[in-house]
């Protein structure tokens, strides 16, 4: 964001460069990731249920195949919904970012390149997650509603590919915080010449 505009907001910004104590985007990111991963994982368990059924019986766990698919569906739906808020918080916090301009990331990218890739990638991943949710809903309510196995193998393979993209995208976000100091309270204090240990007690 333009430095002059940030100067106008400076009195309202905390030591992390935001008008609130903790960045919202990283917390929502982990909710998006967790819901998506749990959704795909439980669908995998549902697909492989006939192989695992003896284990559930041995452990006296009253598990049914449809319950695993229920968990898969509702977690995927939750992931799609929360990702809209994740993206919105990310763009808001990116507008207030003041990254270190002289640093390069472990991937050889400068701050602005990393932020652009992370922002564009976030929009792309939102579209993919929503698309995966629609695909999952069609399988649940239309294509396979009469079948025991609610999801297709192609859906599960696509879900694994999306998890890899989420890993790459998340690494860019981690680099923004760890290497460029974006909304990192300790980094802001160090740049201001303060001792984080004394300030954050």
Percent of the chain with pLDDT strictly greater than 70 = 75
pLDDT at position 109 over 90: no
Phi and psi at residue 16, in whole multiples of 5°? -100, 5
Band (pLDDT 50/70/90 cuts) for residue 40 is very high
Band (pLDDT 50/70/90 cuts) for residue 135 is very high
Q: How far apart are CA 46 and CA 33, in angstroms?
A: 20
Q: What is the pLDDT of residue 161?
A: 96
Lowest mean pLDDT among 45-59, 70-84, 164-178: 45-59
* CA diameter of the chain: 66
Contacts of 91 (CB under 8 A, 6+ apart): 119, 122
The residue that leads in pLDDT, 200 or 74, is 74
**Arithmetic mean of pLDDT, 151-170:** 94
Give the CA count within 13 Å in the CB-facing half-sphere of 14: 15
**Arithmetic mean of pLDDT, 29-54:** 86
Q: How far apart are CA 127 and CA 29, in angstroms?
A: 15
Q: What is the pLDDT of residue 15?
A: 66
**Arithmetic mean of pLDDT, 128-145:** 90
Band (pLDDT 50/70/90 cuts) for residue 85 is very high
């Amino acid at each position: 964001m333009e430095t002059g505009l940030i100067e106008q907001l400076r009195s309202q910004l905390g030591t992390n460069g935001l008008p609130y104590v903790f960045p919202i985007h990283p917390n929502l990111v982990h909710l998006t990731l967790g819901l998506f991963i749990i959704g795909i994982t439980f669908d995998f368990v549902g697909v492989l249920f006939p192989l695992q059924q003896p284990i559930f019986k041995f452990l006296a766990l009253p598990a049914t195949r449809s319950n695993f698919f229920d968990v898969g569906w509702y977690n995927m739906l939750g992931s799609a919904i929360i990702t809209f808020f994740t993206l919105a918080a990310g763009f808001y916090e990116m507008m207030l970012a003041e990254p270190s301009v002289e640093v390069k990331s472990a991937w050889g990218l400068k701050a602005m390149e990393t932020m652009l890739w992370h922002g564009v990638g976030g929009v792309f991943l939102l579209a993919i997650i929503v698309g995966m949710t629609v695909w999952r809903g069609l399988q649940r309510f239309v294509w396979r509603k009469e079948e025991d196995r609610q999801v297709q193998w192609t859906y599960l393979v696509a879900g694994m590919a999306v998890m890899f993209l989420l890993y790459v995208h998340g690494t860019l976000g981690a680099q923004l915080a760890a290497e460029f100091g974006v909304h990192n309270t300790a980094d802001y204090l160090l740049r201001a010449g303060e001792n984080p240990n004394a300030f954050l007690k």
